[in-house]
Structure 1
Amino acid sequence: VDQFSKCCFMDCQLYEFHYINENKTWTEAQQYCREKHTDLVTVTNMTDMKRLINISAGKMKEAWIGLYDETHGNRTWYWSLPGVEFDESETNWKTGEPNDGVGSKVIYQNCVIVDKNLKWIDTDCQSSNHFLCYNDKVILIKEKKTWKDALTYCRDHHHDLVTITNMDDQKWIQEKVKNASTDYVWIGLHYAWTLHFWFWVSDEVVSYENWASCPKMDDCDMSGAMETRGRHKWLEKKDSETFNFICSKY
């Protein structure tokens, strides 16, 4: 039984964040998150930070995130989650950070915490802090299937083919599809030929769109796929083509 209380303070469609109010070193926190959730949190856009600031104000102490540096000297930051690149243009360092501490004695501070305002601070990886885990609600299936077979697989083994309702969801999926073995991946977007409109298999309204060009509206047996390279745009593809695909877990 988990004896430590957890506050889930971000819950969107594709991933959720958890604040764990137990003191652990960065490595211990990483191990905990990987065993009980997915990993320490990866913050890949400022929208995540703004949402966390709005919800977590006054509710959390300084907490580890999944950002670390393996070197002693030239800074090269990495996210704990494999395959996600660190983007210098989307950082949220507190003024003066990262600084390896203060004073004449250099102490290598190779791990990162966030303060109550979600500003990033480098600190000693062996210090004890609360931490932030997240659960990933989507999974890339690196098997080649038709759209209908992909849909069946997702519904039999997970929940459904993925639905993308906003730009944040799109960015999250873009990171996933970079590891695909095909040029496109199926998503849960299908064309109703008799009604002449596109729809998500989850019954969500197609409000956010990311088409490479206006999709055809005069052909049957078409579904939506995302580019795994380039700009990760959506294209209509024949259902009979075979690609990797993205499932939602729940």
Structure 2
Amino acid sequence: RPLNCSCLMLLLVMSTIAVDVEKEYILVKEKLNWLKAQNYCRTHHKDLVSIHNEEEVKMLVEKYRNISEDSLWIGLEKNASKDQWMWSSGEPVNFINWGENQPNNAGQREDYVVMEEPGKWHDYACTSHKFYVCFNVTILNLNTENKTWFEARDTCRENYTDLVSITSQQELWNITNITEGKKVWIGLYQNPWQWSNGDESSFQYWDTNEPNNTADDVCVGISLKHRDNKGDGHPSEVGKWNDFGCNNHYYFLCYEVYLNEKFRQNNWKKKL
């Protein structure tokens, strides 16, 4: 009996593959000191933002270049002994981007960090009040069981957050690289089209002659393999969307947003 149970657990784990990690940035336009900003981010998201490469710096500068503030709190702080910088999220400090003559620890009390307009970092006292950037981590999970769209949606909601929503070309490019050419359900359905989590569909990427609005075709999948003929005499491009009958059985993509405590618990379990 124990052996059979172990085999069942292994099969369940292997049916789902974590295939991609996405990072979402959230600007909070409320001036708080660093500790209150950290508390807000940990309550509503994962944590204050951590930055690990020049590409992230450029993206944040571009994303928030039109705000009125000239600096934003980020998650970098001194450790308890005040001899080392650390990220609030616990991630390793593998990249630094200090401004000229920084950090200078003016007044021996600048233990926290802001990112200024050109993307450079400056140490500040915790008592300063500033806007701040939080972040979430989203994991994409490819489920390799064949299910109808509604079965897939229910499975995602029971075990993760929901069927995946795609809101940009970059997200689509990430997804097209993660399966073995299978058709996969995504969260788009009905007409007018909306995502299963209730969001409107502002980004769409339909294949040739799609959607074809067949009566039963109210759910959307992605073909992740080029086909010369998708059944209507036209080729199917990788990553393009098709409306299918919701009772067809395909693999599916779930997403899960890891908030702070859940993310920490998940990482702790992985280390055991």
TM-score normalised to structure 2 length: 0.49
Partner of 1:185: none
Matched residues in 1 for 2:52 and 2:223: separation?
25
Residues 139 and 189 of structure 1, relative CA distance in 2, 3 Å threshold: closer
CA contact (8 A) 1:14 1:248 kept: no
Shift of 1:139: 7.6
Partner of 2:127: 126
Residues 98 and 71 of structure 1, relative CA distance in 2, 3 Å threshold: farther
Partner of 1:137: 138
Residue in structure 2 matching 1:94, options 93, 99, 114: 99
Structure 2 residue 73 is matched with structure 1 residue 64 = yes
CA contact (8 A) 2:182 2:224 kept: no
Q: Secondary structure at the match of 1:249?
A: strand
Matched residues in 1 for 2:223 and 2:66: separation?
34
Residue in structure 2 matching 1:148, options 140, 145, 149: 145
Partner of 2:22: 14
Residue in structure 2 matching 1:39, options 38, 44, 47: 47
Q: What are the Cα deviations for residues 124-177 of structure 1, in whole angstroms up to 9, with x where unaligned? A: 11222211112322389xxxxx8539x9643543224899x97xx99xxxxxxx
Shift of 1:100: 0.4
Shift of 1:247: 5.2
Unaligned runs of 5+ in 1: 1-12, 141-145, 171-187, 192-196, 207-245
Specify the code of the residue in structure 1 equivalent to 2:74. Answer: I
Shift of 1:121: 0.6
Matched residues in 2 for 1:204 and 1:155: separation?
23
Specify the code of the residue in structure 1 equivalent to 2:103. Answer: P
Superposition RMSD on alpha carbons, in Å? 3.9
Residues 199 and 120 of structure 1, relative CA distance in 2, 3 Å threshold: farther
Specify the code of the residue in structure 2 equivalent to 1:113. Answer: V
Matched residues in 2 for 1:204 and 1:20: separation?
37
Matched residues in 2 for 1:204 and 1:51: separation?
30
Structure 2 residue 161 is matched with structure 1 residue 158 = yes
Q: Secondary structure at the match of 2:105?
A: coil
Q: Secondary structure at the match of 1:137?
A: strand
Partner of 2:246: none
Shift of 1:38: 2.1
Shift of 1:93: 1.0
Unaligned runs of 5+ in 2: 1-20, 187-221, 226-252, 258-272
CA contact (8 A) 1:93 1:119 kept: yes
Specify the code of the residue in structure 2 equivalent to 1:93. Answer: W
Identity %: 23
Which has a greater percent of helix? Answer: 2
Specify the code of the residue in structure 1 equivalent to 2:125. Answer: D
Q: Which has the larger radius of gyration?
A: 2
TM-score normalised to structure 1 length: 0.53
Matched residues in 2 for 1:60 and 1:199: separation?
45
Matched residues in 2 for 1:85 and 1:204: separation?
38
